[in-house]
Structure 1
Amino acid sequence: MFIKQISLLIPLLMSANAWAGTMEHCPKVADIKEVGSTGSYTAATLSGEGEWSGTSQTGRGPVGGFDEAIFKARGEVVEGVVVGELLRCGYSLRDGGKLDMRFKREGTVVSIQAGGVWEPWYDQYYCEDKTDGACTFKELSRPSKG
Structure 2
Amino acid sequence: MKLKQLVMCISILLSGHAWAEVTEYCPSPSDIRELAPGIYKAPTASGDGEWYGVSQGGQGPVGEFELAIFMPHKDVEEGTVIGEVQRCGYRLQKGGAVDMKFKREGTVASIDTGGSWEEWNSRYYCDNKEVRGCTFKEIVRPVKR
Rounded Cα–Cα distance in structure 1 between residues aligned with 2:22 and 2:50 = 14
C-alpha distance 78-19 of structure 1, shift in aligned 2 (>3 A): farther
Identify the residue that residue 35 of structure 1 maps to in structure 2: 35
Rounded Cα–Cα distance in structure 1 between residues aligned with 2:139 and 2:112 = 13
Instruction: Give the CA deviation at 1:82.
Output: 0.2
Instruction: Give the CA deviation at 1:145.
Output: 6.4
Instruction: Give the CA deviation at 1:19.
Output: 3.1
Instruction: Give the CA deviation at 1:85.
Output: 0.3
Count of aligned pairs? 128
Secondary structure in 1 matching 2:30: helix
Secondary structure in 1 matching 2:65: strand
4+ residue runs over 4 A deviation: 143-146
Identify the residue that residue 20 of structure 2 maps to in structure 1: 20
TM-score of the two chains, using structure 1 as the length reference = 0.83
C-alpha distance 144-32 of structure 1, shift in aligned 2 (>3 A): closer
- Equivalent runs, 1:45-64 vs 2, <5 Å: 45-64=44-63
Identify the residue that residue 6 of structure 2 maps to in structure 1: none
TM-score of the two chains, using structure 2 as the length reference = 0.84
- Equivalent runs, 1:71-90 vs 2, <5 Å: 71-90=70-89
Q: Deviations over 1:100-141 (max 9, x none)?
A: 000000010000001210000132000001011110000002
Query: Structure 1 vs Structure 2: percent identity of aligned residues?
Result: 55
